[in-house]
Amino acid sequence: ENGIRNTNENSQMINEKEILSVEGEEQAKKLSENDELKNLDIIWSSSYTRAKATAKYIAYENDLPFNLDNNLSERKLGNLKEFMKDKSTRDPSQEQLLDRTFRTSDGESAEQTRERMNKFFDKILKEYEGKRIAVISHGGSIKFFLLNWCTVNENVKLVYNKNTILN
């Protein structure tokens, strides 16, 4: 989809239930054939319909079920009309990269999203240590999770910070 669809609670629910396009289904099937996604031990997915549709192909190729966790869901932008009134013309994702605490009254900040994703990964990396794990999530949530190891440059792009110390 072009543009952001979850501008209020009703469209947030639509975003959660949106199906993959025909092209998206083809991309998911092709992705599942990638050698790095073979011989998996466990598969985790967001509960969003699009993510589950992607996970089904990976699960089929590995003869595994897949698990769902809401911590992998896309970040909740909330009411974007509120965002547009208070912020610049920047994309909401860019604005949240520049101000990690910014959120609309019913939305989620970059920092909240990062913490939610950290919670998930801390749990599964301990529980499945040494196992091959596939995780299916969403662009915004993954981008904010990457803030653990990246900085934001002057063009509001993520740049890997090789000096980051992992805990």
Task: Give pLDDT tens digits for 118-167.
Answer: 999 999 999 999 999 999 999 999 999 999 999 999 998 999 987 665 54
Of 54-58, 86-90, 101-105, which range is least confident?
A: 86-90
**DSSP tag of 136:** E
Say whether pTM exceeds 0.95: no
Give, in order, the Cα–Cα distances in Å from 117 to each of 123, 130, 146.
10, 20, 10
Of 105-109, 113-117, 122-126, 141-145, which range is least confident?
A: 105-109
